[in-house]
Amino acid sequence: MGIGHYAFMFYGIHLAGSLSSVAIAAQLTVPFATLLAILFLGERIGITRILAITASFTGVAIIGFEPFGPEHTIALLFTALASVAMATATILMRQLNNVGVFNLQVWIALCATVSMALITWLIEKPELSLIKTIDIKEYWSVLYSAIGATIIGHGLLYYLLQRHPINSIAPFITLSTLFAILFGMLVYQDQLTLKIMGGGLLTLLGVTVVAVRNAKEDTPSSIRTPR
C-alpha cells in the first residue's frame, strides 16, 4: 500500500490533465478488490455485482477518451495500478486479526518511508543540499496528507466502521471523489465535460453498488476495521 498505491497515484496526478478524472479512476479499488477476492479467496458474486463492476470499468474507459492530452490516458493507467495496489492491501488487511488501526498505519508509513527513500535515491538521485532550498509552504501538502487524510480521515472512517453497520458507511466513501471534482473545478479550473460526468456517474454508481453488496454479505473484499 505504501509503495504501489502512493507512488502510482501521485505520479498519475502529476501527469493528469484533469484532477476529476483521476479522482474517479481511483475508485476502482473496490471492484479490483472484489476481483482479487474472486481469484485468490474463492469469493463468489452474482449478476448484480458483475454488472456493477462492468459499469465501473466502462465509466473510466469513457473518461479515458476525453482529449485532455497524450498523457491523460497514461495518468488513468497509473491511477488504475494504484487502485490495484490499494485493493491488494485491502485483501491483505482483511486477513489481519488483533491489529490496531494506528498500529497498522504506523507500520505502513515506516515501510513506505524506507522503501520510497531507496527508490527515490536510485531513480531520481536527489541532492540533499536541495532540501534546504525548498520553501516551507511546500510542506503543507505533506502535512495534510499525513495528518488530515491519514490520521483524521482514516481514523474517523475506522471509528465509524466500528460503531455502525458497514453497508450504511460504504456509500459515503465515494463522497471523496465528489469533493475532489468540486475542488478541481474551483482551484484548478478543471472542465467538467459530458464524458467525465457520464463516465463518473457510471463508475461511482457501479462502485457504490459493489461496496454495498460486499458489505451486506460480509465478503472477503468488504470493508473491514483492523482491530
pLDDT band at 226 (very low <50, low <70, confident <90, very high): very low
pLDDT digits (tens, 9 = 90+) for 177-194: 888 888 888 888 888 888
pLDDT at 22: 87
Pick from 6-15, 79-88, 121-130, 148-157: least confident: 148-157
pLDDT at 169: 67
**DSSP, res 135:** -
Q: Is the pLDDT of residue 216 over 80?
A: no
pTM above 0.75, yes or no: yes
Pick from 5-9, 119-123, 154-158, 167-171: least confident: 167-171
pLDDT at 177: 84
Residue 187 in grid coordinates: 482551484
Q: Is the pLDDT of residue 107 over 70?
A: yes
Longest dimension (CA), the chain: 57
pLDDT at 220: 60
- How far is Cα of residue 191 from the mean position of the Cα atoms in its chain? 22
Mean pLDDT score across all residues of the chain: 82
Q: How many residues does the chain have?
A: 227
Q: What is the C-alpha separation between 187 and 212, in angstroms, rounded?
A: 32
pLDDT at 19: 81
Q: Are 201 and 168 in contact (CB under 8 A)?
A: no
pLDDT digits (tens, 9 = 90+) for 21-73: 888 888 888 899 889 888 887 888 889 999 999 999 999 988 887 767 678 88
List b or e across 154-164, with b for residues whose CB sees 16 or more CB atoms inside 10 angstroms: eeebbeebeee
Q: Are 20 and 181 in contact (CB under 8 A)?
A: yes
Q: Is the pLDDT of residue 81 over 90?
A: yes
Q: Are 68 and 18 in contact (CB under 8 A)?
A: yes
pLDDT at 166: 59
Pick from 2-11, 155-164, 185-194: least confident: 155-164
Q: Is the pLDDT of residue 142 over 60?
A: yes
